[in-house]
Amino acid sequence: MASARFRELERRLKKLRKRFLPAVFSPVGNYTDRQLDYARGYRLLAHAEIEAFLEDRCRQVANSTLKQYRVDRQPKSVLLNLLSFHLVQDQLSNNKMKAIYSAKKDHCDESLTDANSAYNKVLSKNQGIREDNMLKMILPIGLDPAKIDATWLNTLDAFGANRGEIAHTSIKTQQQIDPQDEFKTVKSLLKGLETLDGLVAKLR
C-alpha cells in the first residue's frame, strides 16, 4: 500500500496536469506560446514536488527508525547503513575514550545520532533529483541498489537535467518542449516512485 505522502504527491501532480497542460494534446505538436510556457511551468513544479517527496520519505524513515531504536534498542538495517555511509572524521583517540568514559556516554547512541544528523543535513541541502542526488538520498538508508530500475533512474536523471535547462537558461537556447511528452514522463516517474515508496516502507 502506498504511503500517505505518496498519495499526496499523486494528488498534487494531478492538479498540476490539470492547471498547466492542455486538456487535449495536439496530435501534431501544435501549441501556442502560452501553452508551451505553461508546459515549462509544469516541468518545474512537477520536479519540485518529486524532489520534496523523495526528501520527505527518506527523512521520515531515517528519523523514525532512530526514534524506535531508542525505545526497543533493536538494531535495524537502516541504522547500520546510516552508520556505514557516515564518514568518521576523528579516530577514537585515548582522550576521546576517556571523555566517553568520564561522561558515561553511550557511544553507539552518539554515533547513531551523529550519522542521522549528517544524513538529515544532506537531505536539507539537496538540490535536485539527478542520479547523484537520488543515490545520496536512498542508498544511506539501506535501499538495495539491485532493486532500483536503471531505466527509470535514467529517466529521472534526464528529467532533472531538463528542469535545469528551463530554470537556468533563456528560452532562446532551450529545446522545444512538448506538453504531452512532459505528461508521459511524469506519469512514468510517478509509477517508479510508487514502487520506490513501497521499498522504502519495507526498510522499517
pLDDT in tens, 12-35: 999 999 999 999 999 999 999 999
* pLDDT of 97 above 70: no
CB 204, CB 61: distance < 8 Å? yes
Distance between CA atoms of residues 50 and 186, nearest Å: 9
Distance between CA atoms of residues 169 and 152, nearest Å: 26
Distance between CA atoms of residues 162 and 40, nearest Å: 10
Give the residue from 33, 24, 39 showing the smallest Cα distance to 178: 39
Look at 92 and 157; give whichever has higher pLDDT: 157
In the predicted model, what is the mean pLDDT of the chain?
Answer: 89
Mean of pLDDT values over 50-54: 97
CB 56, CB 196: distance < 8 Å? no
For the record, the C-alpha cell of 141 comes out as 538508508
Mean of pLDDT values over 158-168: 86
Q: Can you list the alpha helix ranges (DSSP code H) found in 22-130? A: 33-72, 77-85, 94-103, 107-124
Total number of domains in the chain:
1
- CA–CA distances in Å: residue 169 to residues 13, 85, 176, 178: 24, 35, 13, 17
Q: Report the pLDDT value the prediction gives residue 93, as an integer from 0 to 100.
A: 57
The SS3 of residue 85 is: helix
Domain span at 42? 4-203
For the record, the C-alpha cell of 9 comes out as 504527491
CB 196, CB 147: distance < 8 Å? no
Count Cβ atoms below 10 Å from residue 63 Cβ, excluding itself: 13
* pLDDT of 92 above 60: no
The SS3 of residue 174 is: coil
